[in-house]
A and B are shown apart, each in its own frame.
Chain A
Amino acid sequence: MTTAQIEPTAALAELRESKADRVTIVLLSGDLDKAMAAFIIATGAAAMGMRVTVFFTFWGLNTIRKKGASSSASDWLRRMFGFLNKGGADTLPLSRFHFWGLGTKMMQLVMKQNRMPGVPELMQMALDLDVRFIACTTTMGLMGITKDTLIDGIDQFAGVTTYLAEAKQGSVNLFI
């Protein structure tokens, strides 16, 4: 058994940094349209020089899962859940008019024709603009989502207190 000391204030350095105009977004939904809204606001705010943090919880975690990655949870129930609940930014369904995939495919086609970036592109843009991605550890545990099945660039794994401490300092707070 090994014991490591962690400097607790290291986690707070960024919180204390008194940069105004913080935006916090909670992404609970795993729908294409809602994820798009979240990332458009996140990238827009980041482009305006605001400090943006997106918290991914429940179905929202599907947007930051690697496509096709299977769960490596320890028990079969959660592994099963992780298997049935497919993830990946380009596999998200529309919240309405999904029509077994047809509606979503059509929407993606229209988006492409109008040169509108999709969720994977918007998400990459957000990462490039230093938007911070935080994954909720509780729902990761519940849904059998393990760290290794998430995309790179998730800089924190935390919970409600971290989110609230950030939101408290923010001027814009959205729940999508």
Chain B
Amino acid sequence: MIQADVKLDTLGYFCPMPIILTSKKIKELTMGQVLEVVSDDEGIKKDMPAWCETTGHEMVGLEEEQSSSKRIYKAFVKKAK
């Protein structure tokens, strides 16, 4: 279980909104803090690692939660620059 400092809820938003919201939110963090992005868009599984790779932030974890009706994803991003 990864501990996040800040949580960002993007439930109900489709690509590219989760990424745009992440890029805004990460500016408010200080170096080394971890942002947890919650999304129900499956694209985030590929998009968040790709975004981190391009921007230089560190992707520390990715979780997939399956409940009866919905599947949600939690991406953990560490501010690294």
Closest chain-B Cβ to A141's Cβ sits at a distance in Å of 6
27 contacts between A and B (CB under 8 A): A1-B66, A1-B67, A3-B66, A4-B63, A4-B65, A4-B66, A5-B64, A6-B63, A8-B52, A8-B60, A9-B59, A11-B45, A11-B49, A15-B53, A137-B14, A137-B41, A141-B14, A158-B50, A159-B46, A160-B19, A161-B15, A161-B47, A161-B48, A161-B51, A162-B46, A162-B50, A165-B54
- Do A161 and B42 have beta carbons less than 8 Å apart? no
A134: nearest chain-B partner, CB-CB: B46
- Do A8 and B49 have beta carbons less than 8 Å apart? yes
Closest chain-A Cβ to B80's Cβ sits at a distance in Å of 14
> Interface residues of B, CB < 8 Å — how many?
29
A3 cross-chain contacts in B, Cβ below 8 A: 63-66
Partner-A contacts on B (CB < 8 A): 14-16, 19, 41-54, 59-68, 75
- Main SS of chain B's interface residues? mixed
Sorting the interface of chain A by its residue count into under 10, 10 to 19, 20 to 34 or 35 or more gives 20 to 34
- Do A159 and B66 have beta carbons less than 8 Å apart? no
**Among B43, B49, B60, B65, contact of A138 (Cβ-Cβ < 8 Å):** B43
B59: nearest chain-A partner, CB-CB: A8
User: Cβ of A83 < 8 Å from any Cβ of B?
Assistant: no
Known: A4-B66, A5-B63, A160-B16. A165 touches B42 (CB 8 A): no
**Among B46, B59, B63, B66, contact of A158 (Cβ-Cβ < 8 Å):** B46
Closest chain-A Cβ to B72's Cβ sits at a distance in Å of 10
**Among A4, A142, A164, contact of B54 (Cβ-Cβ < 8 Å):** A164
A9 cross-chain contacts in B, Cβ below 8 A: 49, 59
User: Cβ of A7 < 8 Å from any Cβ of B?
Assistant: yes
A142: nearest chain-B partner, CB-CB: B14
